[in-house]
Amino acid sequence: MERPQSEKLEKKFDAAAAFFRVIGYRKRLLVLYFLLEEEKSVGEIARAMRTGHSAISQHLAALRRLNLLERRRVQQTVYYRVASAHVYWIVEFCRTNELVPQPAMTATLLSEAPYD
């Protein structure tokens, strides 16, 4: 099978790689999981994650740039909530699947690879 080479496909994969670089932090995935049920303040998130406000704010900003989260301000308090249905799929997939292939599965996948 020939490898697909198209500018459109490459742009999609570039965007996907950028997306996975941002969500590829355990803490960010935990934040997304924590926010699935209801919106929370930065302070609530920081306490639950046992992380400082500054670090949590950086994680939240990165997730917001991907449009995965929305925020609202009430006086001095900022609240975050899930903004995309994709978040539910991503978190549920990570929570319920064995993401580290077993050796036998890896060998099978590699032997069936459609390209060199």
Q: Please give the residue that has the higher pLDDT: either 110 or 61.
A: 61
pTM of structure? 0.76
- State mean pLDDT over 91-116: 65
Q: How far apart are CA 52 and CA 32, in angstroms?
A: 17
For the chain, helix (H) and strand (E) counts, in that order, are 6, 3
Confidence of residue 116 (pLDDT cuts 50, 70, 90): very low
- State mean pLDDT over 81-85: 92
Q: Radius of gyration (Cα) for the chain, nearest Å?
A: 18
- Looking at the predicted structure, is the pLDDT value of residue 2 above 50? no
Q: Which domains does the chain have, with CATH numbers?
A: 7-111 (1.10.10.10)
What is the residue-averaged pLDDT of the chain? 85
65-to-18, 72, 75, 116 alpha-carbon distances in Å: 11, 15, 22, 36
